[in-house]
Amino acid sequence: MAYGIKRGVRFQILSESDLDRIHWGTLHVLEKVGVQVDSVACRKLLKDNGCDVDEKTRIVRVPSHLVEWALEKKKSSITLAGRNPKYDAKLDLNHSYMTANGNGAVAVDFETGKRRPSMKKDVVNSSRIIDYLQNVHIHWPMVSSTDQHPSTMHLHDLDASMNNTEKHIMYETGVTISDAKSLTEMGYIAAGGEKEFRQRPVQSCLQCTYAPLQHDAGVMDASLYFAEMGVPLVFFGMPQPGATGPATLVGSLVVGNAEVLSALTMTQLHAPGAAVIYGMGNAPLDMRTTIRAGGSPEHALSSAMATELAHHYGMPSCVGVSATAKQPGDQAILEYYTGCAGPLLAGADLMCGIGLLEDSSCLFYEQIVIDNEIVGVISRLIRGEWADDVTLALDVIEKVGVGKNYLAQKHTVQHLRSGDHFMPELIDRRSFDSWSADGSKSLVDKARDKTKWILANHKVPALDSDTQAKVNAVIEKAKKPMWGGETKRA
């Protein structure tokens, strides 16, 4: 069976003409308002290719034909390879893949329940959990190894991930050119060489643009490097409707689209044909609490519409989901269900990501397991139904006739096995009596039990000692004193 979630159902929010208007509107913004480009290299690239560059304000106005040219150059089909090829995620516009959420800085200790800064051991454990779970297909280092030297935290995140999952790893920490170099080197080591990595990229990088309409120097310099070195990129816009983008979801989509398309243009000018995935995660700012409303219906709709826009361009999408809940349970489930269902029903190729609370900042191990179940439910919703000889089952209906039942039919067993009926692991469908006799466990309790089981039983083959030695050398080489000397944490 193919890896990923098969898609057979799609709901539509925007019409073709809506999408065209958003596209033309975006080109208008890029030509008239422009984007702020802080990278000197990128400004030169854009200027050399006919853009109007104001060196004082660093604002670049990008002509439409250049954006259209970049859209021609991009790759539509990208495979994000796993260390184990059975986990290769083919972004073929027919399958959806769920990713972990990434780079929170807080974790709630699974043993003590204490809320504390995240540590490398949390990256290790969450990577093993992700490796085990069936409905999460792409791994992200979920939290930062804040117990490591600040200059190499992100490399420890990657090291812990590489050793504890065989799935593809996407990171979001390539924010300067030196970070990009170290991360790329680790990717090449993981793949067994540059040529091998280019054929089967086992790692990729998600880059955030800055709303409204800005590109950070470090991020863009790193992006050009990644593009050149064959590391697939996601450019991820995230204007917050009402705050860093217009309050209307479509208006914010235009702002985010202008950021993503201008980043795509710079990348394609530098390395034509580089693998770029279209990313967006527009959650509004909650206007009562000033917290980003991850997992809101508006977040889900924005991610769904961004997917439609990406497909309009023939690009795979990577769209966001998160939750503002403070602990696993009812609110987290409601937010993650809402946030995942909308975009997946609209055909999101990559959904990032599950398992973190407090808007992608706090890790509870058991939430990963709960979200895995949520994605399982949605996978069934979007698989699609069709009428053919097998599904119509006229022969079986004839055979069973009137007043009997279908329990003892091979047809029934076959279709249970092929996933026609979703079999939950956490949702409890037992009677009250058997549920209470078994300790009246909540869904969160059951998720904790399963998490314990995974941590005790699931083993992932570590890197061999030769590869590990090379990885350690990259980390050691990257270690440098931070500005103004060492911090206490180091």
Partner 1 sequence: MADAVARLKEAVMNYEMETIADLAKQALKDGVDPLVAIEKGLAEGIKTVGEKFGRGEIFLPELVMGAEAMKAALAVLEPAVPKGKHRSTAGKVLIGTVQDDIHEIGKNLVSTMLASNGFEVVDLGVNVSGSDFLKKADEQKANIVAMSALMTTTMPRMAEVITPLKKKSKAVKVMVGGAPVTDTYAKEIGADGYSGDASSAVEVAKRLVR
- Which residue number, 231 or 285, has a Cβ lying nearer to partner 1? 285
CA atoms within 13 A on the CB side of 397: 6
262 closest CA partner among 21, 78, 29, 14: 29
- Which residue number, 289 or 465, has a Cβ lying nearer to partner 1? 289
CB 217 → partner 1: shortest distance, Å? 9
Token code pair at residue 438: 């078994």
Please tell me whether residue 176 binds partner 1 under the rule CB under 8 A.
yes
CB 210 → partner 1: shortest distance, Å? 6
Q: What angle do CA 271, 101, 337 make, to 5 degrees?
A: 120
CA 24 – CA 66 distance, rounded (Å): 14
Please tell me whether residue 482 binds partner 1 under the rule CB under 8 A.
yes
Q: Using CB under 8 A, which of 39, 126, 240, 322 touches partner 1?
A: 240
Residue pair 265/42 in contact (Cβ under 8 Å)? The answer is no
460: left (phi over 0), alpha (psi -120 to 50) or beta: beta
Residue written as token pair 């309009």? 312
Q: Using CB under 8 A, which of 210, 228, 409, 468 touches partner 1?
A: 210
Q: What angle do CA 251, 255, 258 make, to 5 degrees?
A: 135
CB 129 → partner 1: shortest distance, Å? 21
Please tell me whether residue 144 binds partner 1 under the rule CB under 8 A.
yes
- Which residue number, 288 or 459, has a Cβ lying nearer to partner 1? 288
* DSSP structure string for 381-405: HHS----SHHHH-HHHHHHH-SS--
Q: Which of residues 260-289 bind partner 1 (CB under 8 A)?
A: 285, 287-289
CA 67 – CA 490 distance, rounded (Å): 44
CB 291 → partner 1: shortest distance, Å? 6
Please tell me whether residue 116 binds partner 1 under the rule CB under 8 A.
yes
Specify the 3-state DSSP secondary structure of 34.
coil
Q: Which of residues 410-469 bind partner 1 (CB under 8 A)?
A: none
Q: Give exposure, 435-447, as e/b (b: 16+ Cβ within 10 Å).
A: eeeeeeeebbebb
Distances (CA, A) of 224 to 165, 178, 249, 272, 458: 28, 12, 30, 11, 38
Specify the 3-state DSSP secondary structure of 408.
coil
Q: Which of residues 341-360 bind partner 1 (CB under 8 A)?
A: 359
| Interface size with partner 1, residues (CB under 8 A) | 39
Distances (CA, A) of 70 to 141, 146, 269, 355: 30, 38, 7, 35
Please tell me whether residue 222 binds partner 1 under the rule CB under 8 A.
no
- Which residue number, 172 or 349, has a Cβ lying nearer to partner 1? 172
Please tell me whether residue 488 binds partner 1 under the rule CB under 8 A.
yes
CB 404 → partner 1: shortest distance, Å? 60
Count of other CB atoms within 10 angstroms of residue 47: 14
Please tell me whether residue 117 binds partner 1 under the rule CB under 8 A.
yes
Of 259-267, 269-277, 369-377, 476-484, which part binds partner 1 (CB under 8 A)?
A: 476-484
Specify the 3-state DSSP secondary structure of 367.
helix
Residue pair 330/364 in contact (Cβ under 8 Å)? The answer is no
- Which residue number, 326 or 383, has a Cβ lying nearer to partner 1? 326
Please tell me whether residue 56 binds partner 1 under the rule CB under 8 A.
no
Please tell me whether residue 175 binds partner 1 under the rule CB under 8 A.
yes
Q: Which of residues 83-112 bind partner 1 (CB under 8 A)?
A: 103-106
Please tell me whether residue 179 binds partner 1 under the rule CB under 8 A.
yes
- Which residue number, 105 or 427, has a Cβ lying nearer to partner 1? 105
Please tell me whether residue 485 binds partner 1 under the rule CB under 8 A.
yes
- Which residue number, 88 or 179, has a Cβ lying nearer to partner 1? 179
Of 44-52, 144-152, 262-270, 296-304, which part binds partner 1 (CB under 8 A)?
A: 144-152
Of 39-47, 345-353, 444-452, 479-487, which part binds partner 1 (CB under 8 A)?
A: 479-487
CB 286 → partner 1: shortest distance, Å? 8
Please tell me whether residue 472 binds partner 1 under the rule CB under 8 A.
no
Q: Give exposure, 117-139, as e/b (b: 16+ Cβ within 10 Å).
A: ebbbebbbbbbbbbbbbebbbbb
Q: Using CB under 8 A, which of 25, 63, 218, 314 touches partner 1?
A: 218
Specify the 3-state DSSP secondary structure of 220.
helix
Q: Using CB under 8 A, which of 23, 90, 139, 154 touches partner 1?
A: 154
Of 213-221, 299-307, 314-322, 419-427, which part binds partner 1 (CB under 8 A)?
A: 213-221
Token code pair at residue 74: 């991009």
CB 490 → partner 1: shortest distance, Å? 9
CA 477 – CA 21 distance, rounded (Å): 49
Q: Using CB under 8 A, which of 79, 94, 331, 361 touches partner 1?
A: 361
CA 363 – CA 130 distance, rounded (Å): 13
How deeply is 255 buried, as exposed, middle or buried, from its count of CB atoms within 10 A (0-12, 13-18, 19+)? buried
Token code pair at residue 373: 């179940």
- Which residue number, 224 or 362, has a Cβ lying nearer to partner 1? 362
Residues found near partner 1 in the complex (CB under 8 A):
38, 103-106, 116-117, 144, 146, 150, 153-154, 173, 175-176, 179, 210, 214, 216, 218, 240, 242-244, 285, 287-291, 359, 361, 482-485, 487-489
